[in-house]
Structure formats: structure tokens, C-alpha cells
Amino acid sequence: MLRRFVPVIAAGALVTGALVAPGAAALPGQVSAAVASLSADDAAPQGLRARLATAPEVDTRAEDPDVTFLVGLPRDSVALQAAAQERSTPGNLLYRDHPSLTNAGKAYGAKSKTLTRLRAAATALGIDVKVDPGRILARLTAPVSAWNKAYGLRMRVTEPTPGNPYRIYAMLDGDSYAEPPASLAKHLEEGVPLAAVYVPADDLAGVDPDEVAGFQATLASPGTPDAWPRNGGTLPPGTCDAPALRDRAVFAPGQIQAAYGTTALAAKGVRGKGARLTVISMGGGYDAADLARAAECFGYPNPRIDIVTGTGVDEPFVNASVETHLDLITASAALPQAESITLLQVVDPLIGMTDAFARMLDGDAVPDVASLSYGVCEPEYQEELTSYVELNEDLLRMAAIVGTTVVVATGDNGSSMCGARFAEETGEPSVWYPATSAWVTAVGGTRLALKADNTRRSERVWNDLPYAGNWPAPGPAGAGGASVLIDRPWWQAGVTPLGPRTVPDVALLGAIRPGWPIVYGGEVFTVGGTSGATPFLGANLAAMSAHQRARGFPSIGFANAWLYASAAGTKPAFVDITSGSNAVQLVGCCSAYRGYDMASGLGAPIMDGLYATLPKPAG
């Protein structure tokens, strides 16, 4: 999550683990068969499974709490792929023809007979089954004692620790996750017995004073070795007075919106009325007073925040997360007529990602856009939850079918998203998942400079090493590179050679200073990272979808095929970023040049120009 040394939002990466080779790919954009490997002896710091195997046991017999495991159901992945591609590709007869989640689940998810047999087998073991409407994922719930009996093992339980307010439950067979009981396994596609429960009493409630001190130190820093650039634009009338704004260390939302065409889009009536945006938060809460202060400071209406909690989160998070503040403030400022924004709060450990991809579609009124500013080093995720990569991909295919775009931050450690040790040991660049998914829009970072009228003076790949030379991690720079998990999707065929999925797809402001404005602890600060660019793009796409519905058209749905076609067209939909690199201290990867590249993707979207290229549904 937040790096406290310099305030850059680098969404929640976990420690890296050993690389392993997954199963062969059967579909375009699926898990790649060509994956390098490291031995366990060469692995980076301990992963979650290893920590669980060595953790002291906790006796749960007195309370015998209920524990919920997430499992994948048998489904037709080939049909999911075909249906998602048909509905996401301009020119196809079914382009933007989005069925309800219930109907899509019946068509492509688990069959009713399978669900009946699963429930019968589970009931015999004292396990309750709840199937999601999309019929790709189910939640199996039982007391610890019932799980112990079903698996013939004793459940591993670890207690919360400082900075990690979760009780973790897992069934381990030695140092591996145990296989589901045979009577259940034959009705499942995936089943990792791992669960987390949020414990509010062990969380840091409210604003974190250490984060405030870090922000203040950044504002006081002149920059090392070069001086920080300044905001060369003009603050909108009515902007509040604050040191960060007065010292031109941060942009106001209106300046960023003007530079990227959001203001021009609003002039055409696209202002977010009816927009359905879900912000996914892995472990982050917020301070309502800070959100209200930001709205007052920057002159936009403060929308209602509708909180939805995931599995293991019995009440909303009590902390005030900088990440969540950035997500909500950025999105709210870009959606002045939105009545509400949904905040989906899921557990921070690995399993929360899968929970989020299922819960964001819980109901037929699916979101136009879901925004996720978190990720995990690809090898770490593959090591911990090997089978869940394809489960996630099918959940995201379902999102595309029913009309939801998922935007994901690529991260903020340049070409070394797996961290310093991985880079030193392998000499290879690294990226994180799920930004590398074939079914998300991956958002990278740029450094933006404005003229006095808030138009773009220049824009290059975000790499703040000249100004933050003491950065302790491999960054700060926008992430980009090639996946070792996912093959090239169909929509990248015209810009990358046959091989892996590459990221980012697009890039927007990511620089630390001047960067994205937030209010935290009552003060205005500047924040850098792809976690600002991501909800900003998501909010704009959600506004476009809402405006389409108001005109009688369906939602945009999965956007990538349209984005890539627009970039290749003659209308001005993107600013091509042609300078800068995301290379960091340890390993280099990618530089910008004309056209698509792995430092800036297609470039920076011009929102009003992009919207003008949106194809109508074939019908």
C-alpha cells in the first residue's frame, strides 16, 4: 500500500515468492505456458502459505467460529471467452449486447444439476453453500470443527499482527493447501481452503499520524537530486487556500480534468448522472470529514458513499486509508452529478481479490466500471493461488459479458514490481497481477506539465527518480512490461508481437509532485501513483456509459478493443507519449516511443475525443 518514505500510492503488493510454471493456455489471453521458474531456495521473502505453515496454532474449539472458503464452480470457459469477446469487439453483431447476470450465469456458469449435487454433498458434511448469481464462484461456510472433520486435518489459524488486522484460517497438508474432500472436489473446479476475517479492534482507527508526517515531509522536501517541478497551470476560481496549493506542489482536480478532456466532456453533457462506479478497497476505510473537506475545497458535490462489505468483513473498515481517500476524492471530483459511489471493501490478503471480482457483480444492476488500485507480484500470486488465476479470469470475462469495465493500476515501482530482491536475483523486470489480466484496462503513469491555461505543456513517462533519489524501493515510476502469466489478448494483436500480454494499456498522471490532490487529516496534500490515474479513468468511463444509457444505448462494457481501435484511428483520442522510461535502480525495461509501448501504452486518453469514437451497438 502506501510507501511512507515518499507519498506515492503503490497499491497493496505482497511479498514475492518462487516462480512456478502454470498449466498450458487453451484460450487467447489465458494463463501462459511459457513461464520461467526459480527454485524454492532462490525465493524472495516468505509467502503467506509458508507463514501459515510455521505460525503458532490457535485453539478455536471454545468458540468454533464459522469460516467461509471461496471455490470455483465447473463452468464453460471456452463459451465465456467467446461470449465476452463477441460483446466487447466493435463491429460484432453482439457488441455491447449485455445480458443480465442471472441469464449469463445460467448460460455460461455451473449447471443446475451440478449445484444440486454440490449442495447435497456439502450438507452431508455440515457445510452451507451460497452460489453467486454468475454461477462461477460459490462460498462454502461451516464451523471450524466441521471443516476439520471434512478435511481430516486441524485448521491453521493465525492471529492479527500490527499492520495486519486479519485472522487467517487455512487448511494445510504439510506446507501446501489441502485438497477439498473428495465428495466436494468432484463438483468444484477450484478450491483453496484459505480465508481471512477482519478484526476491527486490531486495526488503526482513523487517520494515521505517520502518514500525515510523511506527506508533510514531502511538501517540505526540495527534491533530490533535482528540484521538484511546480504546477505551472492556474488554479480554478474558488479553490481553497492551502500550503500545498499555494506552493504549487499539487494540481487541483479541475486542472487535471481540463488537461485530459474531462471538462470538455462535461460541456457535452457527460457529467456522471446515473453513473455506476464501484471502487474496490482491499483493507481501506476513509474519513468522511476529509472527503467533505475535499469537496468543499475544490468545489464539487460530495456524493454518497455506499459501502458493500465482502467475505470476512462483518463491519466497514475503521482505518482512514490514504489509498481509499485518493480513490474516492479523485472519482467524486470527476463525477459532479453522480448520486453515489459504491465502495466495495474486501480483505487485504490474497483471497480478497477473487472475492471482489465476484461481489462487484452481485446483482443485475452491475457497475459500469470497477476500479482497483491494488495488485500482487505475478510470481507471488501464482505461487500462493495457482488455480485462482483462471478463476479470476473467468470472473472478469463474466464482467465483460454483462457490461462492466475493470480498470486496474499497474503499480509504482517501475519495471521492478516484484521488488528489489527479485530484481537482484533474476536481473529480470517484473509486473503485477491483475493489471496483466486479459480482461482489465491496465493504467500506467505519466508526468504532466501544464501551461497557464491548464492545457498540456508536455507529458512524459512517470519516473520520479531525479526528484526522489533516496526512494528505498525500486520506484517511484509507472510500471510496465510483459506478463509471465497471461498470453497476448486478441485486442493487442495489432500493437505487440505474438507472445505475452503487455502493460499498460493507457497512462495518465502518476507523478508525486505536482500530483493528485487529496485531503488527509484535514490537510491538502499531493499524492503520486497509478492509483490516482486508475479511478480517474474509471470515473470518466462510467460517466460515458451513463450518458449512453440516458440516450437509449447500453453500457460500454469491456473497453479495451474500443480503446485500441480508437488509438489506431484518425480522430484525436489519445496523446502519444514518446519520451521517458520506467527503468529504475535495479533493472530497466521500457521506454516510450511513437505508438504503443510498454512504458505508456497507447498514451494519455483525451476523454471528449475518445468518447466521440465510441461505436454504436450493431443492433
CA angle 575, 576, 577 (to 5 degrees): 110
Helix axes 77-88, 101-108, angle to 10 degrees: 140
83 φ, ψ to 5°? -65, -40
Residue range 114-173, pLDDT digits in tens: 999 999 999 999 999 999 999 999 999 999 999 999 999 999 999 998 888 999 999 999
How many residues are recorded in the chain? 619
Looking at the chain, the number of H-run helices and the number of E-run strands are 19, 29
| Exposure string for 415-446, b = 16+ CB within 10 A, e = fewer | bbbbbbbbbeebebbbbbbbbbbbbbbbbbbb
Give which of 284, 282, 224 is closest to 5, Cα–Cα: 224
CATH of residue 494: 3.40.50.200
Are 569 and 580 in a shared domain?
yes
Are 62 and 184 in a shared domain?
yes
Residue range 167-193, pLDDT digits in tens: 999 999 988 899 999 999 999 999 999
Least confident of 58-62, 151-155, 247-251, 289-293: 58-62
Domain that holds residue 174: 48-78+103-202
Are 484 and 590 in a shared domain?
yes
Are 291 and 380 in a shared domain?
yes
Are 548 and 462 in a shared domain?
yes
**142 and 66 Cβ atoms separated by less than 8 Å:** yes
Which amino acid is located at 287 in the chain? D
Judged against a pLDDT cut of 50, whether residue 27 lies above it is answered with no
Judged against a pLDDT cut of 70, whether residue 424 lies above it is answered with yes
Which amino acid is located at 238 in the chain? G
Judged against a pLDDT cut of 90, whether residue 472 lies above it is answered with no
CA distance 163 to 203: 7
- Say if 26 falls within a structural domain: no
pLDDT of residue 22: 22
- Say if 517 falls within a structural domain: yes
Give the residue with greater pLDDT, 13 vs 274: 274
- Say if 84 falls within a structural domain: no
Judged against a pLDDT cut of 50, whether residue 217 lies above it is answered with yes
Chain centroid to CA 543: how far?
19
Q: Which triple of cell numbers denotes residue 40?
A: 524454492
CA angle 369, 370, 375 (to 5 degrees): 140
Least confident of 48-52, 75-79, 340-344, 610-614: 48-52
CB burial of residue 452 (10 Å; 0-12, 13-18, 19+): exposed
| Beta-carbon contacts of residue 512 (< 8 Å; ≥ 6 apart) | 6, 7, 8, 218, 228, 464, 467, 468, 476, 526, 527, 528, 529
164 pairs with which residues across the strands?
161
CA distance 389 to 391: 5
Are 292 and 317 in a shared domain?
yes
DSSP 571: S
pLDDT of residue 18: 20
Are 264 and 181 in a shared domain?
no
The proportion of the chain whose per-residue pLDDT surpasses 90, expressed as a percent, equals 79
Are 475 and 336 in a shared domain?
yes
Are 424 and 366 in a shared domain?
yes
The proportion of the chain whose per-residue pLDDT surpasses 70, expressed as a percent, equals 91
Which of 202, 229, 246 terminates a domain? The answer is 202
Residue range 295-309, pLDDT digits in tens: 999 999 999 999 999
Which of 144, 174, 202 terminates a domain? The answer is 202
Query: Average pLDDT of 28-35?
Result: 32
pLDDT of residue 277: 98
Number of compact structural domains in the chain? 2
Peptide bond into 504 cis (omega under 30): yes
pTM for the structure as a whole: 0.92
Which of 149, 175, 202 terminates a domain? The answer is 202
Chain centroid to CA 487: how far?
19
